[in-house]
Amino acid sequence: MKRFRFSLDRVLSWRRQQLELEQSRLAALLAELTGRIAHAGRLEREQLEVRRRLCAEPQELAAGDNWLRCLAGQLQQTRAEIAAFERRIQAQQTAVRAARRAAEVLERLKQRRFGEWQAALDREEENLAGELYLARWKKG
């Protein structure tokens, strides 16, 4: 019997590459989100520090208030970016799941076809063994 060959191997390989690509895109988005969250944390800590300094040095109230407003604007912008990244991540997770399902469908098909091929091979070997046994039995 001929060797097992899955006719959709190239498609399966392409699906696996697509899955890897989608996963790498998701990883990049997650890394960017982590950076944005860290930036928001730095802005929040800086706001707290400016407030502490204003309590200790009230003569800097005007400059401190302006700086706090600037920090608040940056923090609001960063939070909006975080929300946008979270939406993009959700969409990318959907794309990863779809790519994974597409690859898994072909994987299961390949496994099923291999199982069918293996069963046919086993039947062929069994028939051959039976024929050999009968040929020996007839000679003896």
Task: State the fold for domain 9-139.
Answer: Helix Hairpins (1.10.287)
In this prediction, residue 52 carries a pLDDT of 87
In this prediction, residue 137 carries a pLDDT of 77
Domain boundaries, the chain: 9-139
* Reported pTM: 0.77
Which string of DSSP letters, residue by residue, matches 44-113?
Answer: HHHHHHHHHHHHH-GGGHHHHHHHHHHHHHHHHHHHHHHHHHHHHHHHHHHHHHHHHHHHHHHHHHHHHH
Q: pLDDT tens-digit profile of 21-67?
A: 999 999 999 999 999 999 999 999 999 998 888 887 777 777 788 88
**Residue 8, φ and ψ in degrees, nearest 5:** -105, 25
Query: Measured in Å, how far apart are the chain's first and last C-alpha atoms?
Result: 29
- The confidence band for 140, taking pLDDT boundaries of 50, 70 and 90, is low
Of the candidates 76, 88, 72, the one whose C-alpha atom is nearest the C-alpha of residue 32 is: 88
Tally the residues of the chain. Answer: 140
* Residue 100 token pair: 């994974």
**Residue 5, φ and ψ in degrees, nearest 5:** -140, 125
